[in-house]
Amino acid sequence: MSSPEETFLLECGELLTSMEEALLEMEDNPSDPDSIGAIFRAAHTIKGTGGVFGYDDVEAFTHIVENVLDKVRDNEITVDSNLIAILLSSCDHMEVLVTKAVANEDISDDDKVVDAGLRASLNQYLGVTAPGTNTESTTEIVEGKSSVEIENTGSMVISDNWHISLRFDLEVLQNGMDPLSFMRYLQKIGEIVHVTTLHDDFPSLEEFDPELCYLGFEIAFSSEADKEEIEQVFEFVRDMCTLHILPPRAQIQHFAEVIQSLPEDDMRIGEILIASGVLTERELSNALNSQNKECEGVEACTPTPIGEVLVETKVVHEEVLNVALSKQNKGQLSKSAKQTVLRVDADKLDSLINLVGELVISGATANMLSNNSGDELLIESMSSMSRLVEEIRDNALNLRMVQIGETFNRFKRVVRDVSKELGKDIILNINGADAELDKTVVEKIGDPLMHLIRNSMDHGIESSADRIAAGKDAQGNVWLNAFHDSGNIVIEVADDGRGLDRDKLLAKAHEKGLISDGQVLTDHEVFRLIFEAGFSTAEKVTNLSGRGVGMDVVRRNIEALRGSVDVDKNEYGGTTVSIRLPLTLAIIDGFLVRVGDSSYVIPLDMVNECIELEKGERDENGMHGYINLRDEVLPYLRLRDYFDEPCTQKNNESIVVVKYGSNKAGFVVDELLGELQTVIKPMGKILQNVKGLSGATILGSGNVAIILDVPNLVQRAIQSNNVHGIKSGSENVVLH
């Protein structure tokens, strides 16, 4: 696949995602002009670029979608749930068409049936009973004298047609683009009146390379399209050409009137010209780049005003610029930030993170050697370098941090479709969409969240009739919440349904042999039974759930990410499933401790405090025990006994107090060694299933240290003490 095609496929995916989100927004607010405009622009861009690439199926189908959206925008079609459903299905079909076209594959017979059905449904809104035929212009692209006069003075060319000045880069053919395909597509939005082919840069035959493009074009173009729409024709070649689009004579007065009608806001000259349609963002960006280059390497340089640059490059007519300047003088000049986004290949980003990890390890080694040397200058220099390495580490990790909101928004469509399938009225509420976490975690959390949301809708939320009978609102709610807590991200999936039935869960657990007769379980322990393999209380199997193969998969997937999952009742009477995950899977700040002859690392974000274990408490309870920490029960776990480390000392043991969620426990260690940056390495196959270990890291000395699985160890410490009748952790029982 060539680079332009890859870009087209990627950007189409983003456009279809934004189109789907806007459609779901429009279902709740049919008259929202922003949603309607966003949907139309997405469809128009896909149609235009598909036409440029010669993807006829994509262009033809999307053209029908665009026509329907155009009538929606003009209030000629009323938005209802049926239209939204058709347009959402059209989005899905457009994705199939784009994927097949880029892969150079024919669409399947099933896809053809879907295509025909959607076309028929869309054409009903257009009042068309049969597919129409497009009559394309057959204007010949020839070399000759242009009907648009180009004066040598360099002044703006004015005629009754649009004037498109086009100069392709030499390498455009090598990059997989056909220059003539863009001009052929122009004929679909207007008429090419005349073309002058310029060959001033054509080399001698000895220097001629058939893989290079030496031609330029001056095009007289008649169309009702606006400047931005014409520019979009060249969207996928914009970095491989020099493009100027000059308006017809009739447009100049129109632009002046539009500028005068703009509100009296503080706007830069470029913003005024863009808002009035005189200028596109791409043209403004090019002009600003040209302006900046004037002063590169020159001190005390005053660049040419941007208005003069636009006129000199024949992008804006001087008469229109003067009107815009007059408009600008009526308001106060203000600065506006322009966000610049650079697309980076994920593999390159992962490689950078790996290199930063190795840098952290090497830095720790160098830092240790400098401390051992006793050279103060060297120690000071290494301290400075360590700070820089830490900043590089944080910035590199931030590159992989993405907002969870994009993942959350995907479930709006899921909730809509599943609620209709179940015949229930359910709405999705999203909170904390701006919470960030590692992209690797985001990619792997989608399937577990899908299981939880579908289960909430199928098992949790009742039908509207049952809800009304129970004194609830007819409309059910599912919540997706995200927030940061102690170096982790917590994602909650909650509902206001019927909640978990304790007796029903216990009966099913007895039937499955998961618990024995007479065994007493707390509510929390009963609720956690739903994560056991094959456990389901559904009375019948549906397309959504009931086979008992979902929640255990959710638990395993979460634990594979060094996370944990929990379930409980909520204030609405329904169920809340809480997922707790680390923010990143690559590098963390750790707290190094020694136990026996081995070193262990505890994630620093989970460390609350360190205290000395009193002498009288050291031998009382063996591996497990508890202490009175400021009138609060603190269970602890002696790591030496748990990991069967040799007993090298019995004095000066310390307790590292850790907190995970609402639970608190202590780890008894032999020595506290301090903080360090930790690069997480996965455990080998032999140690993968050992409880209490989540990874390993390499110390500056070259030795390996084990990274502790704090959630697992905290749970073990609490459960062990609860067996002996000692309540602790989140229950905060006070000792007297």
Q: Cα–Cα distance between 473 and 461 in angstroms, integer?
A: 11
Q: Cα–Cα distance between 640 and 667 in angstroms, integer?
A: 10
Secondary structure letter of residue 684 according to DSSP: P
Mean pLDDT over residues 299-310, rounded? Answer: 76
What is the largest distance, in Å, between two alpha-carbon atoms of the chain? 103
Mean pLDDT over residues 466-492, rounded? Answer: 89
pLDDT of residue 53: 79
CB 259 within 8 A of CB 317: no
CB 168 within 8 A of CB 240: yes
Range with the poorest average pLDDT among 86-95, 127-136, 411-420, 518-527: 127-136
pLDDT of residue 225: 83
Pull the structure tokens for residue 145: 């004298």
Q: What residue has token string 């600008």?
A: 328
pLDDT digits (tens, 9 = 90+) for 76-88: 888 888 888 889 8
CA dihedral of 163, 169, 173, 174, whole degrees rounded to 10: -160
pLDDT of residue 253: 61
More confident residue, 544 or 488: 488
pLDDT of residue 339: 44
State the DSSP string of 143-193. Answer: -S--SS---TT-PPP--SSEEEEEEE-GGGTTTT--HHHHHHHHTTTSEEE
pLDDT of residue 335: 37
From residue 174, alpha-carbon distances to 178, 179, 202, 209, 339 in Å are: 10, 11, 17, 11, 31
With cut-offs at 50, 70 and 90, classify the pLDDT of residue 153. very low
pLDDT of residue 509: 81
Beta bridge partners of 708: 693
pLDDT digits (tens, 9 = 90+) for 681-714: 777 777 766 778 888 888 877 788 888 888 888 8
Kindly give, in sequence order, each residue whose CB lies less than 8 Å from that of residue 235, ignoring residues fewer than 6 positions away. Answer: 45, 48, 49, 52
Mean pLDDT over residues 451-476, rounded? Answer: 90
Pull the structure tokens for residue 511: 């039937």
**Residue 727 pLDDT exceeds 60:** no
Mean pLDDT of the chain: 78
Q: Cα–Cα distance between 696 and 684 in angstroms, integer?
A: 9
Kindly give, in sequence order, each residue whose CB lies less than 8 Å from that of residue 359, ignoring residues fewer than 6 positions away. Answer: 389, 392, 393
**Residue 508 is inside which H or E element, if any?**
helix 502-512
More confident residue, 333 or 288: 288
CB 610 within 8 A of CB 604: no
Polymer length of the chain: 736
With cut-offs at 50, 70 and 90, classify the pLDDT of residue 363. confident
Helix (H, G, I), strand (E, B) or coil at 248: coil
- How would you classify residue 706: left for phi > 0, otherwise alpha for psi between -120 and 50, otherwise beta? beta
Pull the structure tokens for residue 419: 């609620």
Q: Cα–Cα distance between 550 and 433 in angstroms, integer?
A: 25
Tell me the range of 349-353, 442-446, 516-520, 655-659 where mean pLDDT is highest.
655-659
Strands 216-222 and 162-168: antiparallel
If we measure between CA atoms, which residue out of 450, 532, 437, 423 comes closest to residue 482? 437
With cut-offs at 50, 70 and 90, classify the pLDDT of residue 615. low
Q: Cα–Cα distance between 507 and 517 in angstroms, integer?
A: 11
**Residue 407 pLDDT exceeds 50:** yes
CA dihedral of 78, 80, 82, 88, whole degrees rounded to 10: 90
Kindly give, in sequence order, each residue whose CB lies less than 8 Å from that of residue 517, ignoring residues fewer than 6 positions away. Answer: 510
**Residue 114 pLDDT exceeds 90:** no
Q: Cα–Cα distance between 140 and 361 in angstroms, integer?
A: 66
Q: Cα–Cα distance between 161 and 139 in angstroms, integer?
A: 15
Mean pLDDT over residues 62-66, rounded? Answer: 90
If we measure between CA atoms, which residue out of 585, 576, 577, 618 comes closest to residue 603? 585
pLDDT of residue 620: 54
More confident residue, 247 or 262: 247
Range with the poorest average pLDDT among 292-296, 375-379, 542-546, 614-618: 542-546
pLDDT of residue 482: 92
Q: Cα–Cα distance between 387 and 29 in angstroms, integer?
A: 51
pLDDT of residue 221: 87
pLDDT of residue 596: 85
pLDDT digits (tens, 9 = 90+) for 416-435: 888 888 889 999 999 998 88
Task: Give the number of C-alpha atoms closer than 13 A to the C-alpha of residue 608, restricted to the C-beta side.
Answer: 16
pLDDT of residue 540: 53
Mean pLDDT over residues 361-377, rounded? Answer: 86
Alpha helices in 374-436 (DSSP H): 376-399, 405-422
pLDDT of residue 252: 63
Mean pLDDT over residues 319-335, rounded? Answer: 60
Question: How much of the chain, in percent, has pLDDT values that exceed 90?
Answer: 8
pLDDT of residue 139: 38
State the helix-helix crossing angle for 439-455 and 405-422, rounded to 10 degrees. 20
CA dihedral of 205, 211, 215, 221, whole degrees rounded to 10: 150
Helix (H, G, I), strand (E, B) or coil at 216: strand
Considering only CA atoms, give the Rg of the chain. Answer: 33
- How would you classify residue 378: left for phi > 0, otherwise alpha for psi between -120 and 50, otherwise beta? alpha
Beta bridge partners of 657: 609, 666
Give exposure, 462-491, as e/b (b: 16+ Cβ within 10 Å): bebeebeeeebeeebbbbbbbeeebebbbb
**Residue 734 pLDDT exceeds 50:** no
* Cα 452-560-638 angle, rounded to 5 deg: 115
Strands 654-660 and 663-669: antiparallel
**Residue 190 pLDDT exceeds 60:** yes
pLDDT digits (tens, 9 = 90+) for 430-451: 999 888 888 888 888 888 898 8
Q: Cα–Cα distance between 420 and 227 in angstroms, integer?
A: 42
Q: What are phi and psi of 233, to 5 degrees?
A: -60, -35
With cut-offs at 50, 70 and 90, classify the pLDDT of residue 722. low
Q: Cα–Cα distance between 199 and 217 in angstroms, integer?
A: 9
Kindly give, in sequence order, each residue whose CB lies less than 8 Å from that of residue 73, ignoring residues fewer than 6 positions away. Answer: 36, 37, 40
**Residue 543 pLDDT exceeds 70:** no
pTM: 0.59
pLDDT of residue 732: 38
pLDDT of residue 717: 84
398-401's contacts with Cβ under 8 Å and 24+ in sequence apart are 399/344, 399/349, 399/352, 400/349, 400/353, 400/438, 400/439, 400/440, 400/584, 400/586, 401/436, 401/437, 401/438, 401/439, 401/583, 401/584
Beta bridge partners of 568: 576
More confident residue, 733 or 279: 279
**Residue 453 is inside which H or E element, if any?**
helix 439-455
Mean pLDDT over residues 100-122, rounded? Answer: 85
**Residue 495 pLDDT exceeds 90:** yes
From residue 137, alpha-carbon distances to 141, 144, 182 in Å are: 11, 19, 14
Q: Cα–Cα distance between 424 and 413 in angstroms, integer?
A: 15
pLDDT of residue 107: 85
With cut-offs at 50, 70 and 90, classify the pLDDT of residue 130. very low
pLDDT digits (tens, 9 = 90+) for 155-174: 344 557 787 888 888 888 88
Range with the poorest average pLDDT among 92-101, 144-153, 395-404, 634-643: 144-153
With cut-offs at 50, 70 and 90, classify the pLDDT of residue 353. confident
Mean pLDDT over residues 622-626, rounded? Answer: 76
pLDDT of residue 228: 79
**Residue 337 pLDDT exceeds 50:** no
**Residue 124 pLDDT exceeds 70:** yes
Kindly give, in sequence order, each residue whose CB lies less than 8 Å from that of residue 541, ignoring residues fewer than 6 positions away. Answer: 547
pLDDT digits (tens, 9 = 90+) for 565-586: 888 888 888 899 999 888 777 7
Pull the structure tokens for residue 607: 């460390």
pLDDT digits (tens, 9 = 90+) for 246-256: 777 656 666 66
pLDDT of residue 544: 55
* Cα 402-408-414 angle, rounded to 5 deg: 145
